[in-house]
């Protein structure tokens, strides 16, 4: 073990200097020093690699690692941004962060406040508010927002909009329309949420065999998912599995 002490200390010092000089969050110092090598490797993956290599994939991996270590980081930053400048963009950012933490009532309020004046028909704000309303069991209020959004233009008919409409239709008992929207969203939405939501719909409407087939497809894709995104993917898989009883 003794020969490892020197390199470990040097490695940690270099990373601590990087934390201070690049103005990173100070909790990184504790992680690096409390968990030699492992903490440093996490820091390299979450912070240094995305900066050094650039590119969307590296940034996604870094963001995923930071979110795991500090899930409220974006919420705090967005709150500060609103305090500094309460613009529509900053309110939308805070609303998204609140929704990510399950604070749907706060998210709905922030989206509603942002949907004013020239932003009254903003697609992202409308979708964000509709999703918050669905989470609050207020699908009857969400559906008119989504139908109006879908009617704006063909470009507004995205997989995310279809997913939200399918969930609203499902909550209101309009199963034929829900099936069309959710099946299309599952086929076109990246990631696992669309597939999981459709599997839940199938299970809850008595189509258990189709739901099991959908779950098997999720398991097949989950096995090929990068480890850094597997936790979120497994969460959607568990949601689908739970619906089957």
Q: What is the pLDDT of residues 179-194, one digit of tens each?
A: 999 999 999 998 899 9
Domain boundary among 69, 92, 107: 69
Containing structural domain, residue 33? 10-69
**Percentage of the residues of the chain whose pLDDT score is greater than 90:** 56
Does residue 4 register a pLDDT over 90?
A: no
Distance (Å, rounded) from C-alpha 109 to C-alpha 155?
26
Q: In this structure, is residue 117 part of a structural domain?
A: yes
Residue 40 confidence (pLDDT):
77
Q: In this structure, is residue 142 part of a structural domain?
A: yes
- Of 213, 217, 165, whose CA–CA distance to 192 is shortest? 217
Q: In this structure, is residue 245 part of a structural domain?
A: no
Max Cα–Cα distance, the chain, nearest Å: 69
Q: In this structure, is residue 33 part of a structural domain?
A: yes
Half-sphere exposure of 217 (CA within 13 A, CB side): 16
The structure tokens listed for 98 are 């609140």
Q: In this structure, is residue 216 part of a structural domain?
A: no
Do both 62 and 37 map to the same domain? yes
Work out how many domains the chain is built from and give that number: 2
Do both 85 and 112 map to the same domain? yes
Segment 192-202 mean pLDDT? 96
């Amino acid at each position: 073990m003794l020969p490892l002490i020197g390199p470990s200390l040097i490695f940690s010092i270099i990373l601590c200097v990087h934390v201070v000089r690049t103005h990173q969050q100070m909790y990184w110092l504790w992680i690096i020093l409390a968990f030699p090598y492992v903490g440093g490797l996490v820091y390299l993956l979450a912070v240094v690699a995305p900066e050094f290599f650039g590119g969307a994939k590296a940034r996604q991996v870094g963001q995923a690692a930071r979110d795991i270590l500090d899930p409220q980081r974006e919420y705090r930053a967005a709150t500060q941004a609103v305090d500094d400048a309460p613009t529509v963009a900053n309110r939308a950012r805070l609303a998204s962060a609140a929704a990510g933490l399950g604070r749907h009532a706060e998210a709905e309020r922030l989206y509603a406040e942002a949907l004013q004046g020239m932003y009254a028909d903003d697609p992202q704000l409308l979708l964000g508010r509709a999703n918050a309303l669905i989470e609050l069991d207020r699908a009857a209020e969400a559906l008119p927002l989504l139908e109006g959004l879908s009617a704006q233009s063909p470009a507004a008919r995205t997989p995310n909009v279809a997913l939200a409409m399918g969930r609203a239709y499902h909550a209101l008992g309009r199963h034929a329309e829900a099936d069309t929207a959710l099946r299309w969203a599952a086929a076109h939405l990246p990631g696992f949420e669309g597939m999981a939501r459709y599997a839940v719909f199938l299970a809850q409407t008595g189509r258990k065999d189709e739901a099991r087939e959908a779950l098997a497809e999720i398991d097949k894709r989950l096995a090929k998912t990068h480890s850094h995104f597997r936790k979120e993917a497994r969460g959607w898989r568990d949601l689908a599995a739970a619906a089957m009883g």
